[in-house]
Amino acid sequence: MSRLMRQPFFIFITILAADQISKYWVRAELVLFEVRELIPGLFNLVYFTNTGAAFGLLAGDNTIGRRLFFVGVTLLALLLIFILYRQVRDQGRLPLLALTLIAAGAVGNLIDRVIFGAVTDFLDFYWRGYHWPAFNVADSAITVGVVLFLVASWRQRPVPPT
């Protein structure tokens, strides 16, 4: 395996492991809907499940059709990430890191959907009465990856027209 591929592979495995281990711990230690206050007024550990997309969009009954839809969308996204990865592999480390984070997060949430039918969320940040929707390590990796990819795209020099 080339050096260019080893580092993203290590990052992918590390993020995926952190995601799955943290979700396993939450499912083992907390009861569904349990809240444990860690930093009063700012941060809780919670145990929620999400059958929908980000922020609970399209959440509803956990039907086989809904599960297949989200699995299919995730697999298409992973195919797109693979294609983009091949296109940007010579453009530096930032776009490769970004796509690696997005892929690791997508696979982490895909594992939850396939095995449990819903994604385990447990990080709950809030301020006064406002709670950000609960999320997990995979969601964080996807978000950071998207931001990094946008930064990498913005920093990329435009190709002059031919």
What residue ranges do the domains of the chain occupy? Answer: 3-155
Contact 76, 82 (CB under 8 A): no
Q: Which amino acid is at 103?
A: A
Q: Which residues pair with 119 in a beta bridge?
A: 50
Tell me the C-alpha distance between 157 and 148, whole Å: 16
pLDDT tens-digit profile, the chain (162 residues) = 556 567 899 999 999 999 999 999 999 999 999 999 999 999 999 999 998 766 555 566 667 777 788 889 999 999 999 999 999 988 889 999 999 999 999 999 999 999 998 999 999 999 988 999 999 999 999 999 999 999 998 877 655 566
The residues carrying an active-site annotation are 121, 139
The pLDDT of residue 161: 64
Q: Which two tokens stand for residue 62?
A: 């956990």
SS (H, E, C) the chain: CCHHHHHHHHHHHHHHHHHHHHHHHHHHHCCCCCEEEEECCCEEEEEEEECCCHHHCCCCCCCHHHHHHHHHHHHHHHHHHHHHHHHHCCCCHHHHHHHHHHHHHHHHHHHHHHHHCCEEEEEEEEECCEECCCECHHHHHHHHHHHHHHHHHHHCCCCCCC
pTM: 0.86
In 3D, which of 61, 62, 58, 31 has the Cα closest to residue 45?
31
Helices 137-155 & 3-29 angle (0-180, nearest 10): 150
